[in-house]
Amino acid sequence: MNNAIRALIGLSLGAMTLAAAELALADEQAMVKRVNQKVAIIDNLHKKAQRALVTAAQDKVFPEYFSTSKDKTALKGRIDKVSLTVQSRFDVDEMCLIDENGHEHSRIVGNAIAPDEDLSTEEASAPFFDLAFALQQREVAVAPIYLSADTLRWVVAYVTPLMAGDAKPAILHFEHNLHKYRDLVNKGVSGEASYVLMLTREGYIFSDSRKDIPLEAQGEAADHASYFDNIKDWEMSGMDKVVEAVNSGEEGVTRVKDASGAEYIIAYKPSESWSILAVEKQ
């Protein structure tokens, strides 16, 4: 084989390699675009919920309630009304007012006001309690998902502190049903070869576009592992990078392979304490 032919073959192989690399890059960019679109949807939902909660928390009834030493019955009625208004406008599952000692002063579930004798005195152990009191006025935190003892399903909670002068006597909190978030993320995604997941920072998968994951309470179990699979258990080469990224809240795109040698592109990106993954089999 002469040098000219060798050069021609080399050029052809180089062109083929370059074309394959360009196709691979295009596939990865498409997955990054998809995950960015899904995260934008969830970020928008979070922002709407945060604005609604902060707006409600500015009502003057709250500092009045915690500042007065007089009978609070009328003020309590006004607080319940504020909560019912928020519930009707933003489809809130539960909303409650909790003081610095962990005592509930008001709670609605659905559109029902809880009677005073049913209000909890043990909310200091709630997963959002310390998180909320660490915030400043008008700040909102999104708590990690948990199984609500009142609605008996997995929820996402938003919390913000209430101010009475310079004091921070209480927090305002509401829960949203995760079904709403899952339905919007899964919209337009179908099939087994291309799918979208939502995960906790610990890797628990609470949304998978390929299947329905129950979010309702099952018996007495309330831990994540009793309800959700974890991405760290996926037996694919290269998954350790994805697991680490999810745990640390990083974004990126990578390729992994299953036991059969099939390759997958996974794009991942955080939204608050969650991560969203767009996965496609090649």
- Per-position DSSP letters for 129-194, written without gaps between them: HHHHHTSPTT--EEEEEEE-TTT-BEEEEEEEEEEETTEEEEEEEEEEEHHHHHHHHHTT--SSSE
Give the model's pLDDT for residue 12: 57
- Using one digit for the tens of pLDDT, what is the confidence trace for 217-253? 999 899 999 999 999 999 999 999 999 999 999 999 9
- Using one digit for the tens of pLDDT, what is the confidence trace for 159-204? 999 988 888 999 999 999 999 999 999 999 989 999 999 999 999 9
Is the pLDDT confidence value at 20 over 50?
no
Q: What is the dihedral of CA 51, 105, 136, 134, to 10 degrees?
A: -120
- Using one digit for the tens of pLDDT, what is the confidence trace for 44-86? 999 999 999 999 999 999 999 999 888 999 999 999 999 999 9
Give the model's pLDDT for residue 166: 86
| Rounded mean pLDDT, 84-91 | 89
Give the model's pLDDT for residue 183: 94
1: confidence class by pLDDT, cuts 50, 70, 90: low
Distance from the Cα of residue 43 to its chain's centroid: 9
- Mean pLDDT lowest among 26-30, 60-64, 91-95, 115-119: 26-30
CB 77 within 8 A of CB 71: no
Name the packing angle between helices 3-57 and 178-186 (round to 10°). 150
Full-model pTM: 0.87
Rounded-to-integer distance, Cα 249 and Cα 90, Å: 28
Is the pLDDT confidence value at 18 over 60?
no
The token pair at 106 is: 């008001």
Is the pLDDT confidence value at 97 over 60?
yes
Is the pLDDT higher at 24 or at 118?
118
CATH superfamily, region 48-179: PAS domain (3.30.450.20)
- Using one digit for the tens of pLDDT, what is the confidence trace for 106-154? 999 988 999 999 999 999 998 889 989 999 999 999 999 999 988 999 9
- Whole-Å CA distances, 154 to 64, 176, 183, 202, 251: 33, 9, 15, 16, 25
Q: What is the dihedral of CA 106, 112, 118, 124, to 10 degrees?
A: -50
- Whole-Å CA distances, 237 to 182, 208, 240, 256, 268: 28, 21, 8, 6, 17
Cβ-based neighbour number of residue 255 at 10 Å = 16
- Whole-Å CA distances, 63 to 14, 137, 205: 72, 13, 40
Domain ranges of the chain: 48-179
Cβ-based neighbour number of residue 56 at 10 Å = 22
Is the pLDDT confidence value at 2 over 70?
no
